[in-house]
Homo-oligomer: A and B are copies of this chain.
Amino acid sequence: MPMPEYPTALGASTPDKITLLGQDLAEDVMGKVSFGELAFWLATQRRPTTGETRVFEAVLAALADHGFTPTAIVTRLTYLSAPDSVQGALAAGLLGGGSRFLGVTEDCGRFLHEVLRDRQLPLDVRMDGEGWDELALSVVRQEREAKRFIPGLGHHVHKDGDPRTPRLFEIAREEGHYGPHLSLFAAIGRVHPRVLGRTLPLNGAGVCGAALADLGLPMELLRGFALLARTAGLIGQLAEELRNPVANEIFLSVDLNNLSVPPEPYGGQHG
Contacts and interface: CB of A to CB of B under 8 A. Distances in A.
Interface of A: 1-22, 24-27, 29-31, 33-36, 38-39, 42-46, 48, 52, 54, 56-58, 60-62, 64-74, 77-78, 80-92, 94-102, 123, 157-164, 166-168, 170-171, 174, 204, 215-218, 220-221, 223-225, 227-229, 231-233, 235-240, 242-244, 246-247, 249-251, 253-268, 270-271
Nearest 3 interchain pairs by C-beta: A82-B98, A216-B267, A42-B236
13 contacts: A7-B258, A20-B61, A29-B61, A30-B58, A31-B58, A35-B39, A35-B232, A44-B239, A70-B247, A71-B81, A77-B96, A81-B100, A87-B223
Given A43-B236, A44-B239, A218 B267 contact: yes
A86 B254 contact: no
A253 B250 CA distance: 9
Contacts of A98: 81-85, 87-88
A27 to B, nearest CB: 7
Copies of this chain assembled into the complex: 4
Contacts of A90: 94, 224, 227
Given A85-B84, A256-B1, A7 B70 contact: no
Which residue of A10, A159, A242 has the most chain B CB atoms within 10 A of its CB atom? Answer: A10
B163 A26 contact: yes
Nearest to A217: B267
